[in-house]
Each structure stands twice: as structure tokens, then as C-alpha cells.
Structure 1
């Protein structure tokens, strides 16, 4: 912590080559629209939502079919990310009931994504 009381962000969240990100958007995105953005439709980008915020991960092949993080594509994967799970059943938006430690992991993932991917909208409930 600095003298001003500011807590410096952990270095692990800052990419080596930070991308130029667009200003965050708050466009409403339905769960049905989000599901189409799973990397399997050439007419749609690839999105991952965390705590209702939708990130465009199209440029990262790890989220494309047959790759490790494809399980998160087209979903609000909050619970799975909080629990460090790659199980499809855990890729769901409910996370509020998780223990504080897992909520902290989820917040870290949100920070990680926000430093690397454009925010394109918010999931409509």
C-alpha cells in the first residue's frame, strides 16, 4: 500500500502487452443471444459472461471449440470460474451463495478478463 492509501494492483493481472480496449458497453444481451456466441457459429463472436458482464473473447482460441476454455463460451461462467471448475454443469451465473474465498477468486477472474477483453454488454435477466 502506498502512502496515499492506494492498494497497488497485483502484477499478475496486468498483461505483458496490454491490449487497446474499447470503452465498456452496457448493451443488453439475453441468455439466448449469449448462448449463440459460443464459438460454433461463424456469424457470431465468442463471448464469456462473468457476474452478468459480457466479454468478447473472440481473439483467444482457448475459447474456441475443442479447446480447454470452450466450456465457458456462450455462458455466464461465474460459478465455474469461482470454483476453478471446467465442468459444464458449473458454468452458470449463480455465485452469491459461494464462500468468501471463492468470491475472491471470481473477482480476480473479473479483473483478469477486464484487463484483456472488451466488455460488450450486460446479461439481461
Structure 2
């Protein structure tokens, strides 16, 4: 599967999404939501799997592509805006800064944001994010 921007934004199967949340999500918590961290201390509850785009946090839990070993796991637990904008799967590109990119890459990033927003619940905003 390619990391190129999606052309069809509508999911193949209808998705029932919860109303978007704007709760602040601290970066250190987001990093734990990468499908690698064991259960929360003192509980049997595992961390969800999150991917952030332009400071918005999407819950992708249950999609094996973002799970450990999945083809898009590199995006899990971080703001992967730059990697998505540049169609990169390199870990060093999975970072929030994207404002220096060209119009084409910014358009690709906006397409990914739209794609995610039609498939995954928005669970919050990265606290202190400046890449909105």
C-alpha cells in the first residue's frame, strides 16, 4: 500500500464517529499510545493507539496497520504530519513540523487530515501544539 494521499475520502463501510473532542493530550501521553506500551500501571487497561495530524489526535486503535509490526506503525504515538505530507515511512520524518513544506505537500497533508477525520474519532489536541 502506498503512502500517497488518498483520493477517495469516503470510507468503504459507513463509520459512526463520536463528536470530536478538544481535550488536551500531553506529548508524553501521546508517545505511550503507540501500540507498544503495556497496560496502564495498576490496571488491565491498555493504552489506545493514537496518530496526530496537525495537532489533532485521532484514535486508530483496532486498525492493524498502526499496531506494532503494522505498515503504518511509524505514525503511532506521535504527530506524523511531516511524514504524511511527504509520503514518508521514515521514523525521522514522523514529526509535527510541516510549515516549511511546499503547497503540494501541504495539500497532501490536508487530504490525509480529511481522510482520517472521516474514519477515526478525534479524541483531542496535542497540548501546546503550534502546527495547527
User: Normalization by structure 1: what TM-score?
Assistant: 0.90
Please state if 1:20 is matched with 2:12: no
Helix, strand or coil for the counterpart of 1:108?
helix
Please state if 1:57 is matched with 2:53: no
> Would the aligned equivalents of 1:72 and 1:91 in 2 still touch at CA under 8 Å?
yes
In 2: Cα distance, 1:74 partner to 1:13 partner: 23
Q: Which has the higher helix share?
A: 1
The structure with the larger Rg is 1
Q: 1:101 to 1:11 in 2, by over 3 A?
A: closer
The Cα RMSD (Å) is 1.3
Please state if 1:40 is matched with 2:43: no
Q: 1:81 to 1:11 in 2, by over 3 A?
A: closer
Please state if 1:82 is matched with 2:67: no
Aligned length: 116
Please state if 1:110 is matched with 2:113: yes
Runs (4+) of structure 1 exceeding 3 A deviation are none
Please state if 1:30 is matched with 2:30: no
How far did residue 106 of structure 1 move? 0.1
